[in-house]
A = this chain, B = another copy of it.
Amino acid sequence: MRLLLVNPNISDSVSDLIRAEAQRSASPGTQVEVLTAPFGVAYIETRFEALVGAYAAAQVAAEHCSQYDAIVVAAFGDPGLAGLREVMPVPVTGMTEAALASAHLLGHRISIIAISQRIQAWYREVVEGYGFGPRLASIRALDRPISAIGGVQEEHAQALKALAERAVAEDGAEVIILAGAPLAGLARSLHGQLPVPVVDGVSSAVRHAETLAALRPGRALRGSFAPPPAKPHRGLPDAIARLLDTPR
């Protein structure tokens, strides 16, 4: 099985973290590839940056999708995920959606630990859009500058762990999600150090993508996740244009 993880941001250092955790999490026989967006921002904190990252992810996924069994949007917040699910020929998931799928099997009230104050509103909107708002105990986030996005989990490891502990003690969190591709692998490092289960997005997305590819539930030909109806378009990147023109 071959999985493609698309980093919708331009940070190669984050792609390295994603790749390492994806390889640790994948089942035997699964190959993972991580590709980085050719344009965009260093990391997404806002709706506008998500809008840019979604378009970048769409280009990368459109160019490479034919060679993989499933695709992962490898940024928490899942920029572009619902749109990609309409047009991709294989299953697509994202880090937020997958982390929630894991978390809701482990406890009722879920807290998300994030890397910046500003990122919280966007995360909350995404979680609420998936219908998980009532299960969200809290989002807690670092409130300090990030020197280098690829080094955030090392630089702030203690602060991140302390946020998780406060989410349990003060917000009633029964499961912790360590959110954001820059934290990929941190759940594994913290194993046994927190009093509730801990989930991360990359490993969850890799395992759930494998499950979707293995169970072969079938593709949507009806409903809002079927491919978009054919219609005129103009000026789109070739790979996207080809996807939209694919007969179904």
Q: Which of B45, B82, B83, B192 contacts A229 (CB 8 A)?
A: B45
A144 interface residue (CB < 8 Å to B): no
A10 contacts across to B, CB distance below 8 A = 232-235
A58 contacts across to B, CB distance below 8 A = 48, 51-52
Knowing that A40-B233, A48-B58, A204-B215 touch, tell me 19 more A-B residue pairs with CB under 8 angstroms. A10-B233, A10-B235, A27-B214, A38-B235, A42-B233, A51-B51, A54-B54, A97-B104, A102-B211, A105-B208, A106-B217, A108-B225, A109-B223, A121-B223, A129-B129, A187-B217, A191-B216, A195-B223, A198-B217
Known: A45-B228, A134-B131. A220 touches B235 (CB 8 A): no
Q: Are A223 and B47 in contact (CB under 8 A)?
A: no
A109 contacts across to B, CB distance below 8 A = 223-224
A118 contacts across to B, CB distance below 8 A = 224, 228-229
Q: Are A105 and B91 in contact (CB under 8 A)?
A: yes
A244 interface residue (CB < 8 Å to B): yes
Q: Are B43 and A231 in contact (CB under 8 A)?
A: yes
A98 interface residue (CB < 8 Å to B): yes
A116 contacts across to B, CB distance below 8 A = 229
Known: A196-B218, A217-B197, A218-B192. A87 touches B48 (CB 8 A): yes
**Pairs A-B, 9 closest by C-beta atoms:** A39-B235, A121-B224, A48-B83, A197-B217, A174-B223, A195-B222, A47-B83, A51-B83, A55-B55
Q: Kindly provide the distance from the CB of A78 to the nearest chain B CB, expressed in whole angstroms.
A: 11
A63 interface residue (CB < 8 Å to B): no
* 9 residue pairs from A and B, CB less than 8 Å apart: A38-B235, A40-B236, A54-B55, A107-B220, A108-B125, A191-B216, A191-B218, A192-B218, A207-B215
